[in-house]
Amino acid sequence: MMKNPRPLPYMLIKIFAVWAFIIYTAVFLLTLYDPVPHAVISMAGGLAILWIIIGGTLMLKMRDRIKSFVLSFSVGWKKKFVLFCTVLALIEEAITTTMTNLAPVFGVEVGEAAITASTNYLEVVLFHSVIIFIPWFVAWAWLLSRYDFAPAEVFLLFGITGTLAETMTFGLQNIGSAGFWVFVYGLMVYLPAYSVPERNVNPPRVQHYILAVVVPFVFGIPVALVVGLLQMICF
């Protein structure tokens, strides 16, 4: 991708990391004597450890080997990008669903506290999360076919899109958790973006960064409407 990485995205990633740590620690301590909210924040902590810390570290350490492996397949890079993002999203949702099902470990009954819409993994990914993310990944494949966003920029921009989605769906309190959400969502696309081959495309301008946050929502609207209809019919 970029031969000379832009420094600003990396500085912002560090800021979001510190932000996530401070907010998480504060909420963890403030909910110590409130079992249900504390269980939820503990589940989020499990996600942070498994997906962000362990998963993120492995992605960073193994990114060059994984990139070589991905490039070895003679399939169009846009298809590989969408598929790779989808696989990572499925892994992330497997972790969140596991955390939800571990409610008794966190001191509450299953159903009292959760970080997913259901304890059923297939229901989560087919009716609530990954099915909605796939058009977002397609949107990013389209964006990367036109503009040379660096992997760290893709990480941040997709993380911002994810934060906005969480805020619109579950409330304004998610703005305070932006540091956490940027990492949760950003890691779904960082490695796939890193594995995209060199392309003869233009560097992004300011308006393209704004476009990159909004376009996934535009691509996702038709799927979201269909999924919403299916939810009403099936549930």
| Residue 4, pLDDT above cutoff 60 | no
The model's pTM is 0.94
Using alpha carbons, list the distances in angstroms from residue 57 to 2, 63, 114. Answer: 21, 10, 26
Per residue in 143-174, pLDDT (tens digit) is: 999 999 999 999 999 999 999 999 999 999 99
Q: Is residue 1 part of a domain?
A: no
In a domain, 2, yes or no: no
Q: Determine the Cα–Cα distance for residues 113 and 35; give it in Å rounded to an integer.
A: 9
Let me know if residue 208 belongs to a domain. yes
- Residue 3 pLDDT > 60: no
With tokens 């800021």, the residue in question is 15
Domain that holds residue 211: 7-234
End-to-end CA distance of the chain: 44
- Closest CA relative to residue 169, chosen from 86, 123, 228, 100: 228
Give the pLDDT score at 2: 43
Q: Name the token pair of 163.
A: 């934060």
What integer pLDDT is reported at residue 228 of this predicted model? 86
- In tens, the pLDDT along 192-210 reads 999 999 999 999 999 999 9
What is the torsional sign of CA 120, 122, 127, 129? positive
Percentage with pLDDT > 90 across the chain: 92
pLDDT for position 1: 41
- Condensed to tens digits (0 to 9), the pLDDT of residues 51-106 reads 999 999 999 999 999 999 999 999 999 999 999 999 999 999 999 999 999 999 99
Quote the number of domains for the chain.
Answer: 1
Q: Return mean pLDDT, the chain.
A: 95
Please check whether residue 9 is in contact with residue 156, taking contact to mean a CB–CB distance below 8 angstroms: yes
Sign of the Cα pseudo-torsion (67, 70, 76, 78, in order): negative
Q: Render pLDDT for 8-42 as a digit per residue (tens, 0 to 9).
A: 999 999 999 999 999 999 999 999 999 999 999 99
Q: What does the block give as tokens for 200?
A: 């003869």
Q: What are phi and psi of 104, to 5 degrees?
A: -60, -30
Locate 75 and state its tokens.
């399939």
pLDDT at residue 5, rounded to an integer? 61
The three-state secondary structure class of 60 is: helix
